[in-house]
Structure 1
């Protein structure tokens, strides 16, 4: 189900996947509204990824209070990549900012990434990725991310020090042209590089999780991550770009 608004399309869509984040939703949406209101014409696309707690009810209440909010509801839990893809597909704006639903990335950084995107867009297509230089996570999560980022960077050559950061800005059309698969959100820099897009990393703040608990751990990321990485490596080697000029007669 999608709450539709027929106004002129905004310039930016902030897409946020939520899965069992009932205690984070209201505060995060309000913080985004405070950070962006009056600065940029935007819409909020909140994707309820088949939550089994009260996330759907909290989003329904928020939809009546936040004018920019549109809600996409998935009938079952489909995973973060599918939730993002559905939200981006539903967006009306040509520019997308993504944000995790746990509230660890301050929404105040969205405007900085949008500015970085606009500064570089004149030189061609680009993806701007947040870089959590000082992460507020457990030592195990920081270590596993450091190892994963190093391995991904060495194998895929994406040039991104923090591909797992949920805060990203890119063109909607560029994303919709990417190959679609489960867990693709972990490899967006490599997929954008494969498509001939420049990747820019911008330092962003990171704060402890205020409510709920993480849906990811070393156990449910390691083996699928390695398999997915091999698949992305194969995609890179089999890329077929369309580059041509047309002479008008």
Structure 2
């Protein structure tokens, strides 16, 4: 994915991600003054802003992209910002772990979740929000090469959580549909935040995908783009 290349304009265009951050934030405890937290894939801080308002004793926000970390630090200076690979083993010492709109890009999510679980103490919790199967279906059905990794179902994610050793305390799914002028406008909205694979479709493949998507899903109101999101609160026993 190419999020870092769009760090400076990310907050302007990440409308769905901002909505998901607010929705995920509904499950963060109201008073976190006795807790330390680590956020992974924080981007420019859309979810970090919500965490910062909870009064954590320590809040560390991280992202793989140096550009995202710099922009996040500028936008949410209340957090401590670090560049970190969310797929690698993590440091211990945090009570809470958060990842909003990140985990769907993991090639081996159960291995990643195992790293996360090992970083938390007994009783520690993780709160995640993940785009699941059904998201961007308008493009996914038009091209089998649209996603860089398989888009997993709600059931598959719940199995991943449990396979990594987490107990699922609660989970919920929501669906949002954005309206765009056309299929190409919808695709451009993804490019504006860097939500595109490093490997590119050829010009012919792209044209075929856009034509197929427009014919299948375009209507008098424009072109819909579907986002299906799972949020889950996990605990280490």
Determine if the TM-score, normalized by the shorter chain, exceeds 0.5.
Answer: no
What TM-score, normalized by structure 2, do the two folds share? 0.30
- State TM-score, norm by structure 1: 0.29
